[in-house]
Structure 1
Amino acid sequence: MAVDMKNVVKPFQWRRNFRIKGQAVTLRPANEDDAAELAQRLAKVVEEQVYLDQTPDKKPNKEDERAEIRKIQDNGGMYTVVEVDGKISGVALLIRGSEGVSHHTAKFRTWLVPGYRGTGLGKKLMEYTIEWASRKGIEKINLDVWSSNNRAIQLYKKYGFRLEGRRRRQAILKGKYVDEIFMSRFL
């Protein structure tokens, strides 16, 4: 009897290697040894004061990142790093809801350091995240994004996220008010 390969479910590849624009890229689960580099790279994103709800006076540190990795993974969530030519260039996180209440949902967080946005890494992280979530029984992915981040909003829409709400004038970025947009995708 022949096996129809279209219907065969392939095992989830926790570690994925590929090339983008000639550079070696790896998506893999974070580990606590990544904490120092993660804190350093995240600080660059925080300094921009454009994408995250953090201020430069509260820069991430190694201990906080190590605790965050452990907490997310211990709660059944996903903390994935993207390495480009061996250096961490961004992350994708799924933070699961409370056990017994909203554990079937997860909040999506992501960031890429300057120089790696618009390269296709966001698409790869989104595909990885959605597949990971569906394999882990997550039924709904939630996220929030600043209204000024059009590139991210278009990416989320492309991958099936829909508007759920908006907080008007929620933040001031670079001297201008921006809305906080809430989006979700059911799996």
Structure 2
Amino acid sequence: MEKKIEKKYIPLAEYFSSATDEKIKLSFTEIETIMGQPLPNASYLNKSWWKKTKPPLKHYLAWVEQGYYVSAIQPGFYVTFEKPSKSTNIVIDCPENTKYAYVIRPIETDDARNLVELFSKIDAETNYMLYGEDERGQSIQSLRKKITSWKKDNSSSILVAVVNGQIGGMIAISGNKAQRAKHRASIFLGVMQKFTNQGIGTALVKDAEKWANSHAIKRLELSVCKSNAIALNMYKKFGFTIDGERLQSLKINDVYEDELYMSKLLND
């Protein structure tokens, strides 16, 4: 598929390959979030751009090769994709018990606003983050600069899970510039509550390990609240082991929480 369509449309192709609904309606904003970059001006101005099914343009392969066709268009607002016949094929990114189609991709600078919103939602939903609701204070501009910096030094990254056209989860891989520590990195995972128990967190960790292996990182590290049994069990299944425990590391709702430090050595 990568040889047939432009690189910018590959995330969109992956989204449709994981979709199971016979009819999917996506806003232009949702489509651009999936892609990680803007659609061309022609897609906003001409319905014919969406109906295109012949070369030299090949963007349409992103959905056509997955059995979808465009059934309705409101330029600048939404596009409806449908399958002409029912299909029972399920791919790895959308197991039978999954309600949501999703695609995982590296973050782009244009994702900064959506990522800030994601952090805000997750901080408000769970007690297992370092920051409480409205405490993080992350600006869009500073996050955009950080994303640009990470892309340049190639030692850190953020992978995002685009779920039903919105960023619903992320995993940050934070590396080290010091030569003696370049072989290790810390990971930080977050998924919106409504998208949990769908395999998205597991998929993000898998892709983070792939990214780490491809960047000569041999050791991954993380911290997790001792009482966060779901996250703790998931990391153990991935082969992370407990290195140590920091007593009363966090104080959440006036209750002290112990924090576990875990790590995993990666194979080549």
Contact map agreement 1:73 1:79 (CA 8 A) in 2: no
Aligned CA RMSD, in angstroms, stands at 1.8
Select 1:35's aligned residue among 112, 129, 140.
112
* 1:47-86 CA-partner distances (Å, limit 9, x unpaired): 2351221132333231232123223333321211101011
TM-score for both structures, normalised by structure 2: 0.61
Q: Secondary structure at the match of 2:119?
A: helix
Tell me, in whole angstroms, the C-alpha distance in 1 between the residues paired with 2:168 and 2:135: 22
1:1-187 matches, cutoff 5 A: 17=15, 18=18, 19-20=93-94, 21-48=98-125, 50-55=127-132, 56-76=134-154, 77-187=156-266
- How big is the shift at 1:22? 4.1
Tell me, in whole angstroms, the C-alpha distance in 2 between the residues paired with 1:99 and 1:182: 21
* Seq. identity, %: 25
Tell me, in whole angstroms, the C-alpha distance in 1 between the residues paired with 2:209 and 2:136: 31
Tell me, in whole angstroms, the C-alpha distance in 2 between the residues paired with 1:64 and 1:27: 23
Tell me, in whole angstroms, the C-alpha distance in 1 between the residues paired with 2:174 and 2:187: 7
Aligned match of 1:8: none
Instruction: Please tell me whether Structure 1 or Structure 2 has the larger radius of gyration of its CA atoms.
Output: 2
Instruction: Looking at secondary structure, tell me which structure has more strand per residue.
Output: 1
Contact map agreement 1:72 1:96 (CA 8 A) in 2: no
Unaligned runs of 5+ in 1: 1-13
Contact map agreement 1:168 1:178 (CA 8 A) in 2: yes
Tell me, in whole angstroms, the C-alpha distance in 1 between the residues paired with 2:115 and 2:147: 10
TM-score for both structures, normalised by structure 1: 0.85
Give the paired residue count: 174
Contact map agreement 2:107 2:160 (CA 8 A) in 1: yes
* 1:119-156 CA-partner distances (Å, limit 9, x unpaired): 11111111111122112211100001111211111010
Q: Secondary structure at the match of 1:91?
A: strand
Q: Highest relative contact order (Cα 8 Å, sep 6+), 1 or 2?
A: 1
Tell me, in whole angstroms, the C-alpha distance in 1 between the residues paired with 2:225 and 2:162: 25
Extract structure 1 runs of 4+ deviating beyond 6 A: none
- How big is the shift at 1:100? 1.0
Tell me, in whole angstroms, the C-alpha distance in 1 between the residues paired with 2:145 and 2:191: 20
Contact map agreement 1:171 1:180 (CA 8 A) in 2: yes
* 1:76-129 CA-partner distances (Å, limit 9, x unpaired): 212111010110001011111123120110000110112112211111111111
